[in-house]
Structure 1
Amino acid sequence: MSRQSHRQFLESESRKPLPSNDLTAELALAQRRFEATFLHAPVGIAHVGLDGAFLMVNPRFCEISGHDAATLLRTGFQQITHPDDLHIDEDLLARLHDGEFPRYTLEKRYIRADGTIIWINLTVAMVRDDDGQPEFFVAVIEDLSELRRASFEAVHDPLTGLLNRRGLAARANDILADARGGEQGVSLLFLDLDGFKQLNDRHGHAAGDACLVDVAQLLSAHGTTRDAVARVGGDEFVMLLAGRDGVGAEALAQDVRVALAAQGVGVSGSFGLVHVTAPDAVDLERMIACADAAMLTAKHGGKNQLRVGVFG
């Protein structure tokens, strides 16, 4: 038999129906493989009804979502989705149902059974019947906790939770860009603690760490969501203040100074402030340097003081 004839023979044989016992074996094998994949997949997999109810969930889905299978099968994805993410998820599901796209991917939050919130990466596809009608959704989720944690830790101080220098630089890009062309400009407040070394020497590093956390909370409480608060050194902090003129920034700085001294732990602060009316994207380091110089003037002048520097 020639090579071509042999190939044609194999193709014709492959098209012949399998005997019933072979077909049963093939179906059983396919079922075992599906179950193994579903049960042991490293990602969470769920079949979701058109009403949002869970039809099937694999163990990894339960592990990531923080709910057991019995609970999930009694509820729907709406009950475990963070309220702030539910609208966009439902909107994408409706568009998927209508055939606008074959699948979608979304970063969203689940609320676990213990009340903690977890970020996931969700991919959803539509399964249709032989007539092309929607039958159910297949959802695949991946845990983003470690990725999100690594991203957070890269730009935040591990002790206080404030921005670090890298985080401050990234946040400053937006603040300075928003301030350009505005009337109020932007201010930078530089704080160096007075008496912090003595506190550490007298009461130990645990007390020193607690003091730094308290200072971070005080600064955050005096700022707004538009501001950036950062720890840029051992006992050095920066507030990049948006939406205030120079007078408003100076008043806030004095409020912080008084509140810090009133904590009664033997620590006060030397403050340097600089205000820029027309900031440029490259001005952050110059602002820090000018505010730092003003802070040193305050420290040499007797501590627990605020000095306003000149930007230049």
Structure 2
Amino acid sequence: MAEAPDTGASGPLPTAEQLARVWARAVADTSFVPMDHKTIVVFLRGLADDLLAALRADELDHAVPLRVGAALVHAHFTEAGSIEHTLAVLGRELRPLGGAEGAGRLAAVQGAVAAGYARALQERTRQEQQEVTASAFAARTAAEQARWASEARFQAVFADALIGIGLADTEGRIVDINRAMCEILGRPPEELSNGMIWTFVHPEDVPGLWDRTKELLAGERNHLRLEKAYFRPDGSEVWTDLVLSLIRDPDGSPLYMVAMMENITERHRLQTRLQHQAQHDPLTDLPNRTLFFERLEAALQAETHPGVCYLDLDGFKAVNDTLGHDLGDRLLHAVARQLVDAVGSAGHLVARMGGDEFVVLVDGIEEGEAGNERLRAVARTALEAVRRPIRLDENEIVVSASIGVVRADGGHDAAELMKAADTTLYWAKADGRNRYALFDEDRHRSDVDRFELSARMPDALTRGEFSLEYQPLVRLADRSVLGVEALLRWTLPDGRRLDPGRFVPLAEDSGFIVPLGRWVLRQACRNAAAWAATNPDTQPLMSVNVAARQLREPSFVGDVAAVLAATGWPAELLQLELTESALMGTPDGSLAALHALSGMGVRIAIDDFGTGYSNFAYLRQLPVHALKLAGSFVTGAAGRGGGADDRSGQTGGEQVDHEVVGLVIRLAHTLGLTVTAESVETASQFAHLRQLGCDTGQGWYFAPAVPAEQIPRLLAARMGDQR
């Protein structure tokens, strides 16, 4: 019974039986094997089973495809077409793996199969060479009659061997060569005989090859094996697997060098293609992140002071969403070409890291500001290259990029350097895009501190490090306390208190403001209910700050209702404060939430009014009950000197601010809104605001924010009498 097909990321993988049948058809006629077609299918069925099991495993065991490649050689599939067709079948039939990870795993399997095949074939050739070498050694001297008796057999093996065989003396002169070697090198025997081996130099010869060859001829080594390229007379290139062996006379002195040569040109090309595919991006043909990290690590180890420009296209997602992924791919290819032309032509490595991210490796950076300027120049050139319009079909597309620029300072490894580059790229994005940013250690350290602080928040809430303090909201007409605003505090285990302006934005950015804000609301209503229980005549308004992120949460209205139900605090005595910028342009879902809260009786106040849009027309569309004038607005309008009716000390600008605030208060009252002034710090400010008709105020003039246990005393007091 056939096994059920496995499903990969992009489609079903074939069964072992299906893969074996396709495989058998592809390789059946590529080599002479002592098996009929049915037996070949059975043989390949076992190999297919092993490959599919390895592909399904969590971790790829490279030993499996290595054994598969060797098994093909052992079964006599030894012609170049056998391995070429095998790799083609695997690449086509196992393509449903899909995705970058699947493609990488498939390429690794193909490479391992090819490597196993090559090793097994080399081992087989080595065994043949050893047999020939033994025969050659047996023919060394006429005095050894038994060995010389086999000369005819040696000559037959020498002349008709499928691998190239050559014999050279200790000076490097060729004294004999067989037909196979002449065919490999593309030269007639008369041209090679009596020639010197030193003439076969190739630009890609392994360093030290000829020194080691001289050592062998001198008797200092017995064997030498390597892959070597040769040029043929027609200019073509042939790659060989070359084994050099030394033959000594009975007293151990060097006598001859035997060269065994196998043509591995097709295998070498295949391996070169596979290596290129493993190290290059298939879309742009740029070096991929694997090759980039290899080059970067090599530069760091060589201490050549490299630097990197990490580049990300701005708004590339919009191109994909509007024009399609196919055109997006073509755009990436075009951008890659422009980068190569602009900075790659100067000798810098340009690589694609994935998606719409590219990186330029700049090696040999000078120390000091000169090196920084060189990196900045490369970044500017890259930005200009990306900005050049690109025509794709009828579309002319102009894109920009953001670049993070970092240089190695001797203390970073490759991973750390790229992490710093990624951080710097984020700075360029945050600073407005279409620009580059140079790495700054102090700014990076600050970002790390912010990240660590953000990561600590959940545990800090669990450990009780967060607390609330309350600042009275005072009715200006009679100085009585009508409510309080809950203010969040964070005290670290070492006693240090963090400024809310430092950690609240982090909570909003990370989304932790949602559970944190839920805790604040619950704790504030619980405290208010406790005060009312102690003194039933006390019913203060509880004002709680709410972030835009909380309002967008689908469960927010339900959370508020649940807190009110659990604490017993009346909805009409709860006021939620949202900033002006958070309310303006409120999405439909958030607007519906505001109406639902208002329908429950909850008051909505706009906090920090005067710092944002200040759009009264828009206010008419919102269920808003109160405005809280920003502290800077209040300070400028109320001034800092003189009495309630004495404006002689005001400047012209302060007088204008005074009249503007008065107008805002009158407009708010016209819309049925109450007005609270924040940051009331002086008697003069208090007097001016009361004279302008402001309803309530809060600030140090009345009282600072205090712990919950001090609020009952303040609720019964008249604030500011002693000021």
Q: Into which bin does the TM-score normalised by the smaller protein fall?
A: 0.5 to 0.7
Asked if residue 308 in structure 1 is aligned to residue 422 in structure 2, the reply is: no
- Contact 1:273–1:294 (CA under 8 A) maintained in structure 2: yes
Q: How far apart, CA to CA, are the structure 1 residues paired with 2:280 and 2:188?
A: 36
Alignment match, 2:643: none
Q: CA contact under 8 A between 2:405 and 2:424: conserved in structure 1? A: yes
1:279 to 394, 411, 417: 411
Query: Does the 8 Å contact 1:127/1:138 carry over to 2?
Result: yes
Larger mean Cα displacement after TM superposition, 238-247 or 287-296: 287-296
Structure 1 position 120, deviation (Å): 4.5
Matched, 1:240 2:361: yes
Of stretches 82-91 and 159-168 in structure 1, the one that deviates more from structure 2 is 82-91
State the AA in 1 paired with 2:437.
R
- Aligned match of 2:340: 216
Distance in 2 (CA, whole Å) between partners of 1:54 and 1:234 is: 59
Give the C-alpha shift of residue 287 in structure 1. 2.8
TM-align CA RMSD: 4.1
- Residues 272 and 309 in structure 1, CA contact (< 8 A), matched pair in contact too: no
Task: State the one-letter code of the partner of 1:157.
Answer: D
Distance 1:34 1:177, change over 3 A: closer
Structure 1 residue 307, shift from structure 2 partner: 3.1
Once the two structures are TM-superposed, the CA of residue 250 in structure 1 deviates from its matched residue by: 0.8
1:171 maps to which residue?
Answer: 295
Percent identity between matched residues is 26
Q: Say whether the 8 Å CA contact 2:404–2:438 is kept in structure 1.
A: yes
In 2, Cα distance between the equivalents of 1:54 and 1:186?
52
Q: Give the Cα separation in 2 of the matches to 1:233 and 1:132.
A: 60
1:257 matched residue in structure 2 = 383
Show the counterpart of 1:270: 401
Offset of residue 125 of structure 1: 1.8
**How many angstroms does 1:28 deviate by?**
4.9
Q: Which residue of 2 aligns with 1:19?
A: none
Letter in 2 for 1:90: W
Given that residues 194 and 269 in structure 1 are in contact (C-alpha distance below 8 angstroms), is that contact kept between their aligned partners in structure 2? yes
CA distance in 2, matches of 1:204, 1:121: 44
Contact 1:274 1:290 in 2 (8 A): no
Aligned to 1:127: 247
Kept in 1, the 8 Å contact 2:281–2:352? The answer is: yes
Are the structure 2 counterparts of residues 247 and 24 from structure 1 closer, same or farther at C-alpha, using a change threshold of 3 Å? closer
Gap change, CA 1:118 and 1:271, over 3 Å in 2: farther
1:293 maps to a residue whose letter is Y
Once residues 92 and 155 of structure 1 are traced to their aligned partners in structure 2, the CA distance between those partners, rounded to angstroms, is 31
Structure 1 SS opposite 2:377: helix
Deviating more after overlay: 189-198 vs 268-277: 189-198
Question: Which sits farther off after the overlay, 264-273 or 25-34?
Answer: 25-34
Q: Counterpart in 1 of 2:422?
A: 289
Q: Which position in structure 2 is the counterpart of 1:73?
A: 192
Partner of 2:55: none
- 2: CA distance between counterparts of 1:61 and 1:294? 64
CA distance in 2, matches of 1:286, 1:87: 36
Offset of 1:255 from its aligned partner? 2.3
Q: Taking structure 1 as reference, are residues 87 and 209 closer, same or farther at Cα in structure 2, changes over 3 Å only?
A: closer
- Normalising by structure 2, report the TM-score: 0.32
Amino acid in the other structure paired with 2:411 = P
Residue 294 and residue 177 in structure 1: after superposition, are their counterparts in 2 closer, same or farther (change >3 A)? Answer: farther
Q: Output aligned runs, 1:144-223, within 5 Å.
A: 145=268, 146-179=270-303, 186-193=306-313, 197=319, 209=333, 211-223=335-347
Amino acid at match of 2:374: G
Q: CA deviation at 1:247?
A: 2.2
Tell me the amino acid that sits aligned with residue 192 of structure 1. Answer: D
Q: TM-score normalized by structure 1?
A: 0.67
Identify the structure with the greater strand proportion. Answer: 1
Query: Which residue identity is paired with 2:405?
Result: V
Give me the whole-angstrom Cα distance separating, in 2, the residues matched to 1:189 and 1:52.
54
Q: Is the 8 A contact 2:307 2:406 kept in 1?
A: yes
Structure-2 residue corresponding to 1:101: 221
**Structure 1 residue aligned with 2:208:** 88
Q: Which has the larger radius of gyration?
A: 2
8 Å CA contact 2:179, 2:189 repeated in 1: no
Give the length in aligned residue pairs: 275
Residues 159 and 84 (structure 1 numbering): CA distance in 2 closer, same or farther, change over 3 Å? same
1:164 Cα deviation (Å)? 1.1
Bigger drift between 186-195 and 229-238 goes to 186-195
The 1:218–1:131 alpha-carbon spacing in structure 2 relative to 1, beyond 3 Å, is same
Q: Is the 8 A contact 1:102 1:126 kept in 2?
A: yes
Partner Cα separation in structure 2 for residue 267 and residue 114 of structure 1: 48
2-structure distance, mates of 1:118, 1:161: 26
CA contact (8 A) 1:293 1:309 kept: no
The equivalent residue for 2:177 is: 56
Corresponding residue SS for 2:221: coil
Deviation at 1:249, TM superposition (A): 0.7
What secondary structure sits across from 1:283 in the alignment? helix
